[in-house]
């Protein structure tokens, strides 16, 4: 059965189907957050362990996967080492090997699996309806954010563990957020929300962390209050065009390859336009990704071809083939910034003219390892490309995960996807709930 990755559910891409709220987004629980906002239901109904076992059985009934023998974890178990993903190829801007061909490691009902299970269950997901790749992706995201989390959670707990949050504690939390790349503006807002809460009541450590998580989720989801749709799936049965922009080296082309993979796996007819005609090897690079994801690439083999002309041809091809998702790769660098912006504007004009009925999304790719510097670059693109969302890449590296909050706060744009690795499966739709859990959760507690 097809798992629709954009909607995070099986068979969810029916013609004309209008999405209900995505399963990946838990119902918001705004003001009531004195008690921990995480749903507790699974812990009382046989616990996460049962949920995880059922999920594993369902996964195996759909696709046989090797299960490694691990001792069944119990409530007292100290957490084992974090999930180690398959080794990745060394970074290479022109992918020649296919890191995605590395077979997934045998699945184990270990601490990492249980953590993923808890995160999925907390969002109201049923164990029969999760995909194995959801589990492995969550583990990868958690591992990617591991460094930031370890720095953050331990210190946060020790601050809030000292008793009711006082002024000094709030200042220490402020420092921690700034060190995690959350940025001044978002930090100010988060601290203001936290202080407002503390004025109302004193919070024990767990509740303070739970409340902080709620504030972070609200910050990340704020664009949904400003008119951006929470659902982000290409519309079936019609042309969607996603223009992928960003400065050089942030991961645009790699992201296109990963998006093409998600799209074709999720049952969408997809096409790629190789509109980075500036860099000599760019077309070849995107073609490699096209082969990996089994998606055709429209390119113009001539030298110094006009990228807008490539986009024009690609739209024609997309319309002729009934393509549902056209991904447009763009250059990250031209002779100068003004030229690049002019080129993007021209591409955008062609899209609006030639595909006036298409649903167009303009997505800025940001390299999370660049921290606040990446944000400055973003402001320039925002004008030229009429941005509608952000894709945050390289969360697996030295990035400090807090930058996601700065991105949303500073740009007012929703994060639509996050990348945490160079493999084809290392990019998935963004969920504030999962992100915040990966950033701030302490170790899984299993109520068996």
By the criterion CB under 6 A, which residues form the site for ligand GTP? 91-93, 246, 248-254, 276, 279, 282, 332, 393-394, 396-397, 419-422, 426
Binding-site partner at residue 250 among ligand GTP, Mg ion, none, CB < 5 to 8 Å by type: ligand GTP
CB 165, CB 198: distance < 8 Å: yes
Q: What is the number of the residue whose Cβ is closest to ligand GTP?
A: 332
Binding-site partner at residue 209 among ligand GTP, Mg ion, none, CB < 5 to 8 Å by type: none
How far is 253 from 174, CA to CA, in rounded Å?
Answer: 36
Closest residue by Cα to residue 406 from 431, 378, 428, 441: 378
Q: Is 194 or 288 the residue whose CB approaches Mg ion more closely?
A: 288
Query: CA 152, 138, 158: angle at the middle one, nearest 5?
Result: 20
CB of 92 to Mg ion, least distance (A): 13
How far is 251 from 329, CA to CA, in rounded Å?
Answer: 10
Binding-site partner at residue 164 among ligand GTP, Mg ion, none, CB < 5 to 8 Å by type: none
How far is 199 from 140, CA to CA, in rounded Å?
Answer: 38
The sign one gets for the Cα dihedral 64, 70, 73, 78 is negative
Binding-site partner at residue 19 among Mg ion, ligand GTP, none, CB < 5 to 8 Å by type: none
CB 5, CB 262: distance < 8 Å: yes
Over the Cα atoms of the chain, what is R_g? 22
CB of 346 to ligand GTP, least distance (A): 18
Q: Is 143 or 253 the residue whose CB approaches ligand GTP more closely?
A: 253
CB of 195 to ligand GTP, least distance (A): 35
CB of 427 to ligand GTP, least distance (A): 7
Q: Are strands 107-108 and 67-68 parallel, antiparallel or unpaired?
A: parallel
Q: Is 51 or 289 the residue whose CB approaches ligand GTP more closely?
A: 289
Q: Which residues pair with 143 in a beta bridge?
A: none
Q: Is 217 or 394 the residue whose CB approaches Mg ion more closely?
A: 394
Binding-site partner at residue 397 among ligand GTP, Mg ion, none, CB < 5 to 8 Å by type: ligand GTP
Q: Is 45 or 97 the residue whose CB approaches ligand GTP more closely?
A: 97
Distance linking the first and last C-alpha atoms of the chain: 31
Q: Is 232 or 289 the residue whose CB approaches Mg ion more closely?
A: 289
**Which of the residues 240 through 269 are near Mg ion (CB under 5 A)?**
252-253
CB of 286 to ligand GTP, least distance (A): 8
Burial 145-168 (b: 16+ CB within 10 A, else e): bbebbeebbeebeebbeeeebeee
Given the rule CB under 5 A, which residues bind Mg ion? 252-253
């Amino acid at each position: 059965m097809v798992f629709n990755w954009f909607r995070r559910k099986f068979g969810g891409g029916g013609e004309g189907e209008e999405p209900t709220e995505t399963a990946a987004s838990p119902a918001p629980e705004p003001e009531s957050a004195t008690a921990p906002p995480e749903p507790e239901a699974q812990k009382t109904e046989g616990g996460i362990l049962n949920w995880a076992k059922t999920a594993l059985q369902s996964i195996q009934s759909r696709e046989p996967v090797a299960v490694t023998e691990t001792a069944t974890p119990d409530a007292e178990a100290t957490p084992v080492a974090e999930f180690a993903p398959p080794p990745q190829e060394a970074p290479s801007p022109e992918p020649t090997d296919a890191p995605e061909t590395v077979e997934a490691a045998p699945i184990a009902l270990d601490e990492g699996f249980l953590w993923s299970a808890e995160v999925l269950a907390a969002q109201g997901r049923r164990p029969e309806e999760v995909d194995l790749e959801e589990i492995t992706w969550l583990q990868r995201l958690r591992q990617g954010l591991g460094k930031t989390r370890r720095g953050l959670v331990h210190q946060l707990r020790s601050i809030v563990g000292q008793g009711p949050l006082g002024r000094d504690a709030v200042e220490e939390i402020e420092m921690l957020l700034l060190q995690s790349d959350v940025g001044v503006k978002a930090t100010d807002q988060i601290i203001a929300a936290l202080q407002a809460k503390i004025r109302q009541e004193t919070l024990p450590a767990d509740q303070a962390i739970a409340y902080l998580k709620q504030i972070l989720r609200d910050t990340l989801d704020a664009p949904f209050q400003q008119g951006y749709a929470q659902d982000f799936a290409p519309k079936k049965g019609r042309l969607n065009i996603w223009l992928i922009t960003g400065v050089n080296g942030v991961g645009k082309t790699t992201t296109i390859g990963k998006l093409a993979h998600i799209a074709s796996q999720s049952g969408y007819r997809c096409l790629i336009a190789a509109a980075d005609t500036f860099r000599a090897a760019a077309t070849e690079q995107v073609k490699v990704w096209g082969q990996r994801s089994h998606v055709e690439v429209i390119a113009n083999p001539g030298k110094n071809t006009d990228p807008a002309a490539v986009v024009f041809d690609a739209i024609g091809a997309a319309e002729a083939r009934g393509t549902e998702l056209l991904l447009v790769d763009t250059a990250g660098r031209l002779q100068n910034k003004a030229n690049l912006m002019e080129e993007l504007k021209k591409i955008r004009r062609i899209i609006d003219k030639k595909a006036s009925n298409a649903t167009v999304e303009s997505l800025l790719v940001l390299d999370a390892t660049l921290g606040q510097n990446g944000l400055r670059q973003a402001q320039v693109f925002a004008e030229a490309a009429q941005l509608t969302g952000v894709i945050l890449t390289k969360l697996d590296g030295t990035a400090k995960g807090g930058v996601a909050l700065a991105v949303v706060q500073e740009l007012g744009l929703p994060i639509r996807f996050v990348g945490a690795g160079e493999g084809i499966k290392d990019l998935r739709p963004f969920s504030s709930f999962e992100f915040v859990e990966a950033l701030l959760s302490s170790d899984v507690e299993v109520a068996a």
